[in-house]
Chains A and B, each alone.
Chain A
Amino acid sequence: MASEYVPILSLLGQLSSASPTRAWQSAPHPHLPIVATATSDRTVSIHSLRDFRILSTISGGHKRSIRSVAWRDDGKKGESVLATGSFDSSVGIWKREDAYTKDEGGPPGGMTEDDLDLSNEGFIGSESIRSEDSEDWQFAVLLTGHDSEVKCVAFSPSNPSLLATSSRDKSLWIWEAVSEEDDYETIAVLTDHSGDVKCVAWHPEREILASGSYDDSIRLWRDIEEEGDWGCIGCIEGHGGTVWGVTWEPRLGKASHEELRLASCSDDLTIRIWKKAAPERREERKPGALPSIIRPPSSTELWQQDSILPQMHSRSIYAIAWSKISGRIVSCGGDGNIFVYKEVESNESEEDDSMQGTDSNGEAPDRRWQVVAQMGGAHDDYEINHVCWAPRQDRGKQHDDEEVILSTGDDGVVRVWTLP
């Protein structure tokens, strides 16, 4: 692969906070051109994605490092809701009225070319949003119950009143917002994992949750009989180390009847794609054989490996993200590198075994993943804890579908990268 030329990412900007301590994870707002970053100094920084300035610092809610942040996307404008998961075992829910909506006429998302002119009066430039205005963020609810550090929080995109949280206490909790009140109820406490639950990810369209754990497995969860009883519907074993990240395939061009795949990254230095196996026909009972007495309940889903991405990282892979715009996957990890992968038709490029992901079952030989971009030492000597995709929103934006990569590192900064 050394011989193969892979283009590198270009640094577009850097989001810094006042006191740079380790930054864990960043979450771009679902509509607004802002990004929230969880840091180990017990705060969340909110930065503009237009000019990369810091807008607010949310502090005062947690006693220890904030490990994870997630935006609630209920399509409702006027208010932003942010969840924070902390090593102090609690989860905070924060609210803020969007100053943005006070500006009449601003298109939703604020992402069009025309909207760029508003950058000085709109949400970002608005006088009301300065870093000293962090009081606007109200700590609405404190969710307690986890026994140990909270590792990940995620709102369901298909039902934004559902919040999933995972913890070092090996459990995964699902909370539901109660009507209009600032209150959440616990609707499930899922304890099937035998290790720290590092990550959770909601299916983009259905109320299905995926989780990755220190026990090296990925589990899938849903309200099995839709009677309020959540349970594990599948366990994917295949990684040889901690599963640090899971992410669902975006629908993109895929037909609505097709099952979405799942990607995961691990301590075993691999990124794997999983797909749901077609329901198996019950094998005929061989004459003389004892009946198989323990049938898996009908709700159990079987998942199998679809493909494995080219192995690029030399240390733990901490995060991956699957672009909703381009379908590309980006990864980062302890080696300080960022790689971008693209799924291509097999005949699109020359055969090159060293770069080619392998298909596990040979059923779909016409697709494979290849590395299309990379960045070594993207945070200098520091580890990179998180990467994600975001629509490009700065003045240099060329077209609507342009995207950037946000990487979050131990150096406490978030770097914004454009693709070659």
Chain B
Amino acid sequence: MSAILSADDLNDFISPSVACIKPVETLPKQREQLPSYEVTTEDKVQAENPPPASISLTDCLACSGCVTSAEAVLISLQSHTEVLSTLDAHPSLDVRKHVQGSSKPHSKLFVASVSPQVRASLAATYQISERQSGYMIDQLLCGPHGLRSGGQYGSGFTYVVDTNRMRETCLVLGADEVAQSLTGGSTAARPVLTSACPGWVCYAEKTHPHVLPHLSKLKSPQALTGTLLKSVLSKSLGIQPSQIWHLAIMPCFDKKLEASREELTDRWWANDQDTDASTLPVRDVDCVITSRELLTLANDRGINLPSLPLTPLPKEYRIPFPDSTISRFLFPKSRRRHYEHHDLAQSSAGGTSGGYLHYILTSQQARHRGSTIHTQRGRNADVTEFTLLSSTQEPLLKCARFYGFRNIQNLVRRLKPARGSRLSAAAARRKEGIGTRKDDGAGEYAYVEVMACPGGCTNGGGQIRVDEAIALQSAAQRGRELEGETDHAGNGAGLSQKDWLRRVDSAYFSAHSSASSDAECDGSEINSQPGDPNDDDDLDPDREMHDPNFASDHALDPPTPRDLLTYWSACTCIPLEKLAYTTFRKVESDVGKSKKGTGSRPGETEGIAALAASIGGGW
């Protein structure tokens, strides 16, 4: 009788700690004493007095078992408390008073980037416009009534950047990448798959390495914004990237994983002479928090978000960006002149996830006179197929959207190379027959926009949920009733999660229509971008000091995405290849496999895995 083996503890899911393949490593403290080519064995390291060891998120990326279960680790390493403690520990670096080399090494330049889906989530929650929710975030991060009102040094953020700005460059480069893959001019395998969704990338790296050659080599807007801010600000202010602290506010928890990728640190782009090999790599994005955590952040500082002014920042809080060309790109004065791409990024045709596919399709459409886009819904609302038809209705190009884990399953299965090893001979023959019959489908797509969340990024895991929004709304309503107002409009009571998502989506898409309508009343105060330092006609004289181009450049039209990229590469002396592109790698889980080479660690995990296997894994 094996009843003793069916004890409860064996029925449980093996806890991540048991299967964790990333041992707590102790890094050699005095690295410079070791010749760089010496292989450091664990024995040797331990012989020295080891510094306290810790597992970082970067470590956890290497392991397949933990990431999904290690939310506690995630949240403790990149969380709203991390934001507050960093603000408390460091005074803000004052860019206006900063002279190269003068600032206290202790001070930090706090910068933030905000995704449009976060603004949509806040807009739906507080029943304000997407624009106003941008102001709300600016006021919280930079304004006098926001984070600056508390903390040891009264630190706040100096710049808040909309990730839509760098998304425009992503769209342009992404369309180039697909165009090249179509003409065979690139190494990217067809179809090209979106790589901006970190949940999807992480899953592909761990579970389906065969799709990695298909992933777009482009950085995500978050990563690209990080690289831009760190490279440009450190160069133009003459400070170390580590002195810049970059917070990203995202709809998605997995963006925390992306931010901790070692590919997305200054090691990958900084010129060798500028980097000090003895220091640790500096992340392009130091911390990611989600929409929901933004609420907690405000709450922890005792800030009532709806009571913040829903207006642009006061003049004295709009700090000029040290590089005027990049400034005009990041903080365009008028939406009209700048928003041709923005339209695509945040329009309903572009979808909820940044509009990659839509931009690629429309740029291909522009190459074929008279062509039209045919849309076909798939098995569920999260699968859509797009066909570009020539004027004679010949299909020219096929693209598709696959959102959500269940649909991703079908995509990766279709991209899987034929396999025979586990099939019996008879079945293998059968399979062959199928293989020769027709192309299996996924290969015929030129591009697939893949997002891990059903409904796309507006429905990210970090967005404010319907129950939370309703609680906030009814609290606000009670407040209004106490003040004698009777306003029952738009109360979310009885909303289902689906209805709620529709509201967030419409807030997201409303940015597009309001941008269009702005075009008709250009010039009014309301057109100023939140935190836009250039909004001010009374130009800051300091700026000329930092920007040699300023005097000769009076045309304040923002640069196009291509011009921006060229300029960025030139002014930082870093090739675009290093700035805008990244790589993906197969992540191998060692669980249950013998670890050749490391040797010194006896197979503790194997032992446990074997035990679990021998008892049938607890059924």
Closest 3 CB pairs between A and B? A228-B380, A186-B409, A139-B427
Chain B 168-185 per-residue mask, 1 if CB under 8 angstroms from chain A, else 0: 000000000000000000
The answer for the CA separation of A290 and B491 in the assembled complex, in Å, is 13
With A87-B616, A170-B13 in contact, is A293–B3 under 8 Å at CB?
A: no
> Interface of A with B (CB < 8 Å)?
22, 40, 60-61, 64-65, 67, 87, 135, 138-140, 142, 145, 148-149, 151, 168-170, 173, 181-183, 185-189, 195-196, 198, 214, 227-229, 242, 267, 290-291, 293-295, 297, 315-316, 334-336, 381-383, 410
Contacts of A189 in B (CB 8 A): 405-406, 409
Segment at the interface with A among B216-224, B387-395, B418-426, B569-577 = B418-426
The answer for the CA separation of A410 and B5 in the assembled complex, in Å, is 12
- B8 CB to nearest A CB, Å: 8
The answer for the CA separation of A294 and B619 in the assembled complex, in Å, is 38
Q: How many residues of B contact A (CB 8 A)?
A: 40
Q: A214-B11, A293-B474 are in contact. List 13 more A-B contacts (CB 8 A).
A: A87-B617, A139-B426, A145-B409, A170-B13, A182-B431, A186-B410, A189-B406, A242-B11, A267-B8, A294-B467, A295-B493, A297-B496, A334-B6
- For residue B280, CB closer than 8 A to chain A, the reply is no
Contacts of B424 in A (CB 8 A): 60-61, 135, 138-139
* A–B pairs, 15, beta carbons within 8 Å: A40-B616, A65-B616, A135-B424, A138-B424, A139-B426, A142-B423, A168-B13, A168-B618, A182-B430, A188-B406, A189-B406, A294-B467, A295-B494, A297-B496, A316-B3
* Least CB separation from B423: chain A residue: A139
- For chain A, what secondary structure do more than half of its interface residues adopt (helix, strand, loop), or is it mixed? loop
The answer for the CA separation of A69 and B222 in the assembled complex, in Å, is 47
The answer for the CA separation of A29 and B492 in the assembled complex, in Å, is 51
- Kindly count the residue-residue contacts between A and B in the assembled complex, taking CB atoms under 8 Å apart: 110
B13 contacts A148, C-beta separation under 8 Å: yes
The answer for the CA separation of A383 and B616 in the assembled complex, in Å, is 14
- B557 CB to nearest A CB, Å: 45
* Least CB separation from A92: chain B residue: B422
With A242-B11, A293-B470 in contact, is A334–B3 under 8 Å at CB?
A: yes
Contacts of A145 in B (CB 8 A): 409
* Least CB separation from A176: chain B residue: B379
The answer for the CA separation of A373 and B238 in the assembled complex, in Å, is 87
* Least CB separation from B492: chain A residue: A293
- A152 CB to nearest B CB, Å: 11
Chain B 359-387 per-residue mask, 1 if CB under 8 angstroms from chain A, else 0: 00000000000000000000111000000
With A61-B422, A291-B493, A294-B467 in contact, is A151–B619 under 8 Å at CB?
A: yes
- B351 CB to nearest A CB, Å: 17
A227 contacts B380, C-beta separation under 8 Å: yes
Contacts of A138 in B (CB 8 A): 424, 426-427, 430
A383 contacts B1, C-beta separation under 8 Å: yes
Find A64's partner among B407, B422, B613 (CB 8 Å cutoff): B613
- B438 CB to nearest A CB, Å: 10
Contacts of B380 in A (CB 8 A): 187, 227-229
B409 contacts A135, C-beta separation under 8 Å: no
Contacts of A65 in B (CB 8 A): 616
The answer for the CA separation of A151 and B380 in the assembled complex, in Å, is 27
Contacts of B12 in A (CB 8 A): 195-196, 214
Contacts of A170 in B (CB 8 A): 13
Contacts of B427 in A (CB 8 A): 138-140
Contacts of A334 in B (CB 8 A): 1, 3, 6
A316 contacts B430, C-beta separation under 8 Å: no
The answer for the CA separation of A296 and B597 in the assembled complex, in Å, is 56
- A179 CB to nearest B CB, Å: 12
With A187-B379, A291-B493, A294-B470 in contact, is A168–B617 under 8 Å at CB?
A: yes
The answer for the CA separation of A151 and B381 in the assembled complex, in Å, is 30
Contacts of A242 in B (CB 8 A): 8, 11
- For residue B434, CB closer than 8 A to chain A, the reply is yes
* Least CB separation from A142: chain B residue: B422
- A360 CB to nearest B CB, Å: 26
Contacts of A315 in B (CB 8 A): 3
- For chain B, what secondary structure do more than half of its interface residues adopt (helix, strand, loop), or is it mixed? helix
The answer for the CA separation of A293 and B11 in the assembled complex, in Å, is 38
Contacts of B187 in A (CB 8 A): none
- For residue B2, CB closer than 8 A to chain A, the reply is yes
- A381 CB to nearest B CB, Å: 5
B423 contacts A185, C-beta separation under 8 Å: no
The answer for the CA separation of A247 and B523 in the assembled complex, in Å, is 69
A228 contacts B379, C-beta separation under 8 Å: yes
The answer for the CA separation of A64 and B614 in the assembled complex, in Å, is 10
Contacts of B2 in A (CB 8 A): 383, 410
Chain B 1-21 per-residue mask, 1 if CB under 8 angstroms from chain A, else 0: 111001010011100000000
Chain B 455-472 per-residue mask, 1 if CB under 8 angstroms from chain A, else 0: 000000000000100110
* Least CB separation from B380: chain A residue: A228
Contacts of A295 in B (CB 8 A): 493-494
Tell which of B3, B406, B423, B426 has the most Cβ of chain A within 10 Å: B406
The answer for the CA separation of A410 and B2 in the assembled complex, in Å, is 8
The answer for the CA separation of A138 and B8 in the assembled complex, in Å, is 38
The answer for the CA separation of A188 and B78 in the assembled complex, in Å, is 31
The answer for the CA separation of A297 and B409 in the assembled complex, in Å, is 28
- A89 CB to nearest B CB, Å: 10
Find B493's partner among A169, A198, A214, A293 (CB 8 Å cutoff): A293
- A314 CB to nearest B CB, Å: 10
The answer for the CA separation of A145 and B422 in the assembled complex, in Å, is 16
* Least CB separation from B473: chain A residue: A293
Name B1-54 residues within 8 Å CB distance of A. 1-3, 6, 8, 11-13
The answer for the CA separation of A221 and B494 in the assembled complex, in Å, is 22
The answer for the CA separation of A22 and B2 in the assembled complex, in Å, is 11
B6 contacts A316, C-beta separation under 8 Å: yes
B381 contacts A228, C-beta separation under 8 Å: yes
* Least CB separation from B474: chain A residue: A293
The answer for the CA separation of A173 and B616 in the assembled complex, in Å, is 21
- B65 CB to nearest A CB, Å: 9
B13 contacts A195, C-beta separation under 8 Å: yes
The answer for the CA separation of A145 and B411 in the assembled complex, in Å, is 12
Contacts of B6 in A (CB 8 A): 316, 334, 383
Contacts of A182 in B (CB 8 A): 430-431, 434
Find A135's partner among B413, B426, B471, B497 (CB 8 Å cutoff): B426
Contacts of A60 in B (CB 8 A): 424
The answer for the CA separation of A227 and B492 in the assembled complex, in Å, is 24
The answer for the CA separation of A269 and B616 in the assembled complex, in Å, is 22
Contacts of A183 in B (CB 8 A): 434
The answer for the CA separation of A151 and B618 in the assembled complex, in Å, is 11
With A148-B13, A228-B380, A229-B381 in contact, is A186–B407 under 8 Å at CB?
A: yes
* Least CB separation from B410: chain A residue: A185
* Least CB separation from B617: chain A residue: A149
The answer for the CA separation of A182 and B13 in the assembled complex, in Å, is 32
Contacts of B492 in A (CB 8 A): 293
The answer for the CA separation of A293 and B493 in the assembled complex, in Å, is 5
The answer for the CA separation of A316 and B422 in the assembled complex, in Å, is 36
The answer for the CA separation of A189 and B454 in the assembled complex, in Å, is 11
Contacts of A297 in B (CB 8 A): 496-497
The answer for the CA separation of A195 and B381 in the assembled complex, in Å, is 29
Find A382's partner among B1, B430, B474 (CB 8 Å cutoff): B1
The answer for the CA separation of A87 and B380 in the assembled complex, in Å, is 30
Contacts of A135 in B (CB 8 A): 424, 426
B406 contacts A186, C-beta separation under 8 Å: yes
The answer for the CA separation of A416 and B410 in the assembled complex, in Å, is 41
The answer for the CA separation of A22 and B493 in the assembled complex, in Å, is 54
